[in-house]
């Protein structure tokens, strides 16, 4: 029986467990990446592990999220991360060099390798044929130390692409179509593997747009084969040496199949407030807009920018619209500057932002109140833009650029004939903003620079015999990590300071949560389905841990968040019978007796609702290793106990 590409790469990296779907496997990690908003915590955790030098083939730290520097905090974090990198063997991509996923694809990604990153959009690397997975900072720290990364052996979905995209229909429309069909929960426990005749019509950056936003499906990752298109891209980046051809066997067996005829796709938009709320321009109708933002790790490649420049050429941004453009990397920005496209954008009235995440994570450019904003980004969760009632639509760069000129949501096919946009034979390669580490022999000479905002992170105590705690919060379905631990210009600078950032925990849902949880001392959170979807930020587990949350009971969890809860030593349970969700109210006192004894004996955990005088069963879906971690009080305690 043939193998899928996913199985081939996983199998080649398998260090623990068996390749049986649904069971836990440990894989060797070749490369890691971090970004600054999750990186400070990841490197504090790495330091706590006491490993001298990273044991991966390549580890890179990027500074791209917190580049606003409206106080000393971010600059301090950058210096801290830079000094840790120098000492411990990590490459340091300086602020200004670009968004982690875009730069990693350009400069480090390699077919057949494994990559984990402390950012949920790490699967962007799947565009170049690698198994690239988003993870919590602690998992990345362990991988840097040479430890395996554990995942549930995934199901593999064949996404069979046929045909060719019509003019002005974009790679963004491909992934929006997949989201429209499968929803934000559709990829949980699965890898989306793209194959079929249509694959070769897509460039590497286009493939990366698709794998990037596979994160919004909740998928473990997404991957494209490595073929001549990959080879050409790597050659243009001066890295042809890392190219290897890779694809699934012809007789590979998949768990599911999705067929997409690229020729039939039309321009689409994800409407507020979910990436799967996808509609065509006709379905949305005439929509007057206030803002357009082009950029982010989804759509900031050179080819995206060249299309935007073509559309803007000789025109002026509509008087009622603000257009911002953030090219994804220094390489992209530099090439736009040299080929004149940047001048076209400036001339049209675009507001050029630095090569960083920027508005995507609410670092500036929040829309006006009730403002309608078209963005080429990947997430449009409520409040993420920094404007609570902002109405965010996710669209392709082509649709964004044309709409910026017309002032309303416009179908880019109205542009008529499309010229051919071709990838350059050679990109401008200058890695002068990537600092290599010092030699191992000199590591003791490097001083670690710690600013006053960098506070120790909370570590759970070993599990108590009995959890007897009140429900401090009850929330509904599809709660994102942007609800649990919001970001944005005010809060993001506090990522290295858990006591301070926890003041904003769940503030989007309930501003009184922080004080209530603190005064309760210990508590339990009740959630609906797909709880914790979105980012990989472990702050969404560490802040609740700091506030005394002992367990979270939901209808279902998103993958990375559930792993982060276990890493933090918080018990993640799901209702055996979803109806039990309805019988619990905020303030109820819940008791789980003999917790460890119960979960060592079975997946089914008995929970008493003392207030209501009822009892229900919750399920713990965890491997033996994870149960050990929960008993020890999280990954760090577990690692210490076992070293």
Q: Judged by CB under 6 A, which stretch of 6-14, 398-406, 532-540, 591-599 contacts ligand MIC?
A: 532-540
Under the binding rule (CB under 6 A), the answer on residue 121 touching ligand SF4 is yes
- 65 an active-site residue? yes
Q: Judged by CB under 6 A, which stretch of 262-270, 344-352, 528-536, 629-637 contacts ligand MIC?
A: 528-536
The smaller minimum CB distance to ligand MIC, of residues 37 and 592, is found at 37
Where residue 224 falls (left for φ over 0; alpha for ψ -120 to 50; beta otherwise) is beta
Under the binding rule (CB under 6 A), the answer on residue 105 touching ligand SF4 is no
Residues 320-379 binding ligand SF4 (CB under 6 A) are 357, 360-361, 377-378
Give dist(CA 209, CA 317) in Å, integer.
25
Q: Judged by CB under 6 A, which stretch of 23-31, 363-371, 461-469, 535-543 contacts ligand MIC?
A: 535-543
Question: Are 453 and 207 a contacting pair, CB within 8 Å?
Answer: no
Residue 315 CB neighbours (<10 A) = 16
The answer to whether the Cα torsion of 424, 428, 106, 101 is positive or negative is negative
Query: Per DSSP, what are the bridge partners of residue 566?
Result: none
Nearest to 38 by CA among 365, 457, 450, 387: 457
Q: Judged by CB under 6 A, which stretch of 74-82, 114-122, 224-232, 322-330 contacts ligand MIC?
A: 114-122
By the 10 Å C-beta count (0-12 exposed, 13-18 middle, 19+ buried), 196 is classed as middle
- 78 an active-site residue? no
Please state the closest distance from residue 528 (CB atom) to ligand SF4, in A.
24
Residue with tokens 């005439």, as numbered in its chain? 286
Backbone angles phi, psi at 497, to 5 degrees: -130, 85
**SS3 of residue 82 by DSSP:** helix
Question: Are 551 and 499 a contacting pair, CB within 8 Å?
Answer: no
Helix 559-568 × helix 137-144 angle, to 10°: 70
Half-sphere exposure of 202 (CA within 13 A, CB side): 32
The answer to whether the Cα torsion of 16, 19, 22, 27 is positive or negative is positive
User: Which residue of 93, 120, 385, 529 would you call a contact of ligand MIC, by CB under 6 A?
Assistant: 120
By a kind-dependent CB cut-off of 5 to 8 A, residue 536 interacts, out of ligand SF4, ligand MIC, none, with ligand MIC
Under the binding rule (CB under 6 A), the answer on residue 5 touching ligand SF4 is no
The answer to whether the Cα torsion of 486, 491, 493, 498 is positive or negative is negative
Catalytic residue among 13, 28, 58, 65: 65
Give dist(CA 442, CA 285) in Å, integer.
63
Under the binding rule (CB under 6 A), the answer on residue 42 touching ligand SF4 is no
Query: Per DSSP, what are the bridge partners of residue 219?
Result: 188
Please state the closest distance from residue 472 (CB atom) to ligand SF4, in A.
28
Please state the closest distance from residue 260 (CB atom) to ligand SF4, in A.
23
Catalytic residue among 36, 64, 77, 139: 64
Determine the residue with CB nearest ligand MIC: 535
The smaller minimum CB distance to ligand SF4, of residues 39 and 186, is found at 39
Helix 100-107 × helix 330-339 angle, to 10°: 80
The smaller minimum CB distance to ligand MIC, of residues 235 and 455, is found at 455
Under the binding rule (CB under 6 A), the answer on residue 361 touching ligand MIC is yes
- 588 an active-site residue? no
Catalytic residue among 36, 119, 482, 580: 119
By a kind-dependent CB cut-off of 5 to 8 A, residue 540 interacts, out of ligand SF4, ligand MIC, none, with none
By a kind-dependent CB cut-off of 5 to 8 A, residue 296 interacts, out of ligand MIC, ligand SF4, none, with ligand SF4
**Which residues make Cβ contacts (< 8 Å) with residue 420, sequence separation at least 6?**
none
How many residues bind ligand SF4 (CB under 6 A)? The answer is: 11
By a kind-dependent CB cut-off of 5 to 8 A, residue 206 interacts, out of ligand MIC, ligand SF4, none, with none
Give dist(CA 93, CA 84) in Å, integer.
13
Under the binding rule (CB under 6 A), the answer on residue 172 touching ligand SF4 is no
Using CB under 6 A, list all residues that contact ligand MIC: 37-38, 65, 119-121, 134, 361, 379, 487, 534-537
Using CB under 6 A, list all residues that contact ligand SF4: 65, 99, 119, 121, 296-297, 357, 360-361, 377-378
Question: Which residues are designated catalytic?
Answer: 64-65, 119, 379, 535, 537
């Amino acid at each position: 029986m043939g193998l899928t590409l996913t199985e081939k790469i996983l199998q080649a990296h398998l260090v623990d467990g068996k390749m049986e779907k649904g069971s836990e496997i440990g894989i060797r990690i070749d490369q890691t990446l971090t970004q600054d908003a999750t990186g400070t915590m990841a490197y504090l955790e790495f330091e706590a592990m006491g490993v001298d030098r990273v044991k991966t083939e390549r580890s890179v730290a990027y500074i791209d999220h917190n580049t606003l520097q409206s106080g000393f905090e971010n600059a301090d974090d950058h210096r801290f991360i830079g000094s840790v990198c120098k000492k411990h063997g990590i490459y340091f991509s300086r602020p200004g060099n670009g968004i982690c996923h875009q730069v990693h694809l350009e400069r480090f990604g390699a077919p057949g390798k494994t990559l984990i990153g402390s950012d949920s959009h790490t699967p962007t690397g799947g565009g170049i044929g690698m198994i690239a997975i988003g993870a919590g900072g602690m998992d990345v720290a362990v991988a840097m130390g040479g430890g395996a990364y554990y995942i549930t052996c995934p199901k593999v979905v064949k996404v069979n692409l046929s045909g060719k995209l019509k003019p002005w229909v974009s790679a963004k429309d491909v992934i929006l179509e997949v989201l429209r069909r499968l929803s934000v929960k559709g990829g949980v426990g699965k890898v989306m593997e793209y194959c079929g005749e249509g694959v070769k019509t897509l460039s590497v950056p286009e493939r990366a747009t698709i794998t990037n936003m596979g994160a919004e499906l909740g998928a473990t990752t997404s991957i494209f084969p490595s073929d001549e298109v990959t080879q050409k891209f790597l050659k243009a980046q001066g890295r042809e040496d890392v190219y290897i051809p890779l694809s699934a066997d012809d007789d590979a067996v998949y768990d599911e199949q999705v067929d997409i005829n690229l020729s039939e796709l039309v321009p689409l938009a994800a409407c507020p407030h979910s990436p799967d709320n996808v509609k065509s321009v006709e379905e949305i109708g005439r929509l007057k807009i206030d803002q357009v933002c082009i950029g982010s790790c989804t759509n900031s490649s050179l080819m995206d920018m060249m299309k935007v420049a073509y559309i803007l050429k000789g025109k002026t941004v509509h008087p009622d619209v603000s257009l911002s453009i953030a090219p994804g990397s220094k390489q992209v920005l530099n090439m736009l500057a040299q080929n004149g496209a940047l001048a076209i954008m400036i001339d049209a009235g675009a507001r050029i932002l630095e090569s960083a995440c920027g508005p995507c994570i609410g670092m500036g450019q929040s829309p006006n109140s009730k403002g309608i904003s078209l963005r080429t980004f990947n997430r449009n969760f409520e409040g993420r833009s920094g404007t609570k009632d902002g109405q965010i639509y996710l669209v392709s760069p082509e649709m964004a650029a044309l709409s910026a000129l017309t002032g309303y949501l416009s179908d880019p096919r109205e542009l008529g004939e499309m010229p051919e946009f071709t990838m350059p034979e050679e990109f401008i390669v200058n890695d002068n903003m990537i600092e290599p580490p010092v030699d191992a022999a000199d590591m003791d000479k490097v001083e670690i620079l710690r600013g006053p905002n960098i506070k120790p992170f909370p570590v759970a105590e070993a599990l108590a015999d009995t959890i007897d705690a009140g429900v401090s919060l009850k929330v509904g379905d599809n709660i994102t990590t942007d609800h649990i631990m919001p970001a944005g210009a005010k809060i993001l600078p506090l990522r290295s300071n858990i006591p301070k950032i926890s003041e904003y925990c769940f503030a989007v849902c309930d501003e009184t949560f922080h004080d209530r949880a603190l005064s309760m001392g210990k508590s339990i959170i009740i959630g609906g389905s797909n709880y914790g979807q979105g980012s990989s930020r472990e702050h969404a587990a560490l802040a609740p841990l700091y506030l005394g949350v002992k367990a979270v009971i939901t209808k279902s969890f998103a993958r990375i968040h559930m792993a982060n809860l276990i890493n933090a030593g918080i018990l993640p349970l799901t209702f055996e019978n979803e109806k039990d969700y309805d019988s619990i109210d905020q303030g109820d006192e819940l008791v789980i007796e003999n917790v460890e004894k119960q979960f060592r004996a079975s997946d089914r955990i008995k929970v008493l609702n003392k207030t209501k005088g009822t009892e229900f069963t919750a399920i713990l879906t965890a491997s033996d290793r994870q149960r050990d971690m929960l008993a020890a009080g999280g990954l760090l305690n577990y690692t210490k106990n076992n070293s």
